[in-house]
Structure 1
Amino acid sequence: MFILTGICLGLGIFVALLSLAILILSRKPPLIFGKYPRKGLFYRVKFGIALLLLKRLRYRIYRRNEEVLSSPEHLAKMDRPQPLTNDPKSYDVVSFMAANAKGEKLMVTLERRRRGVLKAALYLWLPEGGLYSLPKLPDMVYFTTDDGIEDGTEFRGGGFHIYPEESMRTWRLKYDGPLRRREHEDLVSVSLDLRFTSSSAHFDYNRDLSSSLIADSIAREAWNESFYGMLKSVGHIVEKRMHYEQNGLLAGSIVLGDRYLKFNSHGFRDHSFGTERCLSSINRYVYFALFLDDGSSMVVGNLSQPSFFLSSLKVGYVCTPDGIYKPITSTNFELYSYGEKGIPPKHQNFLVNTADRSYLVQIRVEDSALRYVGGDWESKVHNQFVSCTVNGINGQGHAEYLYRHEGGRPEEVGAQDPQWYQRIKRYERSLSNMEHIDEGDFIF
Structure 2
Amino acid sequence: MLPPPRILGVYSRPGFWFPVKLVFFYFLLRLRRLMGSSGGGEGTEEKEGEEKLVVGATAGYGVKSKPTVKMMECVQQLSEHPKAIDAVYFNAANSSGHYLVAATARRPQGVINGLLFIRIPNVGILQLPRMPDTLMFGDGDQFGAEGLRITPVTPMVEWKIQYDGTMKLQGSPLSQHQVELDVTFTSDQPYFDFDTDMDAWTLARSVALEPWSPQYFHNLKLAHQTHYEQMGRLEGTVVVDGRPHVLRLDSMRDHSYGHKREWKLMHRYGLHMFTTEDGIQGNVGVICQPATCSRLEMGYIYREGQMEPVTGVDLTLWQHGENGHPPNDYAFSFTAGGKQYMVEVSVLEAPEFYIGWEWETRVVERMATFRVNGEKGWGLAEWDYRHHGGRPHIYTSHDPAWTVDLVKG
- TM-score, normalization: structure 2? 0.90
**Counterpart of 2:291 in 1: which secondary structure?**
helix
Give 1:225 shift. 4.4
CA distance in 2, matches of 1:228, 1:116: 32
Give 1:197 shift. 0.6
CA distance in 1, matches of 2:250, 2:318: 31
**Contact conserved, 1:285 with 1:401, CA < 8 A, in 2?**
yes
**Contact conserved, 1:296 with 1:320, CA < 8 A, in 2?**
yes
Matched, 1:126 2:120: yes
Q: Quote the residue 2:61 is aligned against.
A: none
Q: What is the 5 A alignment of 1:7-86? A: 24=1, 27-62=2-37, 64=39, 66-68=51-53, 74-86=68-80
Residues 237-264 of structure 1, C-alpha deviation per residue, up to 9 Å, x if partnerless? 65xx211011111101111113211111
Matched, 1:304 2:288: yes
1:174 to 151, 162, 165: 162
CA distance in 1, matches of 2:200, 2:123: 43
Matched, 1:346 2:328: yes
**Contact conserved, 1:118 with 1:157, CA < 8 A, in 2?**
yes
Gapped regions of structure 1 (runs ≥ 5): 1-23, 146-151, 430-444
Pair 261,418 (structure 1): closer, same or farther in 2 beyond 3 Å:
same
1:244 to 228, 239, 244: 228
Q: Quote the residue 2:147 is aligned against.
A: 159
**Larger relative helix fraction:** 1
CA distance in 2, matches of 1:99, 1:343: 23
**Contact conserved, 1:280 with 1:379, CA < 8 A, in 2?**
yes
CA distance in 1, matches of 2:154, 2:408: 40
One-letter identity of the residue aligned with 1:250:
L
Q: What is the 5 A alignment of 1:285-304? A: 285-304=269-288
CA distance in 1, matches of 2:314, 2:191: 26
CA distance in 1, matches of 2:218, 2:244: 57
1:315 to 295, 298, 310: 298
Q: Quote the residue 2:60 is aligned against.
A: none
**Counterpart of 2:363 in 1: which secondary structure?**
strand
Pair 85,43 (structure 1): closer, same or farther in 2 beyond 3 Å:
closer
Gapped regions of structure 2 (runs ≥ 5): 40-44, 46-50, 55-63
Matched, 1:386 2:349: no
Residues 208-236 of structure 1, C-alpha deviation per residue, up to 9 Å, x if partnerless? 111122111112112234335557xx4x8
Give 1:266 shift. 1.0
Give 1:108 shift. 0.4
Q: Quote the residue 2:246 is aligned against.
A: 262
Aligned CA RMSD, in angstroms, stands at 2.2
Matched, 1:403 2:385: yes
Pair 428,78 (structure 1): closer, same or farther in 2 beyond 3 Å:
closer
Pair 63,385 (structure 1): closer, same or farther in 2 beyond 3 Å:
farther
One-letter identity of the residue aligned with 1:181:
L
Matched, 1:207 2:196: yes
One-letter identity of the residue aligned with 1:215:
A
Moved more, 220-229 or 354-363: 220-229
**Contact conserved, 1:108 with 1:123, CA < 8 A, in 2?**
yes
CA distance in 1, matches of 2:343, 2:324: 22
Q: Quote the residue 1:275 is aligned against.
A: 259
Give 1:62 shift. 4.3
CA distance in 2, matches of 1:421, 1:293: 48
Give 1:95 shift. 0.9
Residues 108-143 of structure 1, C-alpha deviation per residue, up to 9 Å, x if partnerless? 010111111111111112332221111110000111
Q: Quote the residue 1:370 is aligned against.
A: 352
1:189 to 178, 192, 196: 178
CA distance in 1, matches of 2:73, 2:134: 24
Q: What is the 5 A alignment of 1:323-338? A: 324-338=306-320
CA distance in 1, matches of 2:33, 2:92: 31
Structure with higher Rg: it is 1
Identity %: 32
CA distance in 1, matches of 2:337, 2:83: 37
CA distance in 1, matches of 2:274, 2:100: 12
**Contact conserved, 1:290 with 1:388, CA < 8 A, in 2?**
yes
CA distance in 2, matches of 1:268, 1:140: 21
CA distance in 1, matches of 2:102, 2:170: 17
- TM-score, normalization: structure 1? 0.83
Pair 305,167 (structure 1): closer, same or farther in 2 beyond 3 Å:
same
CA distance in 2, matches of 1:222, 1:85: 30
Q: Quote the residue 1:222 is aligned against.
A: 211
One-letter identity of the residue aligned with 2:155:
S
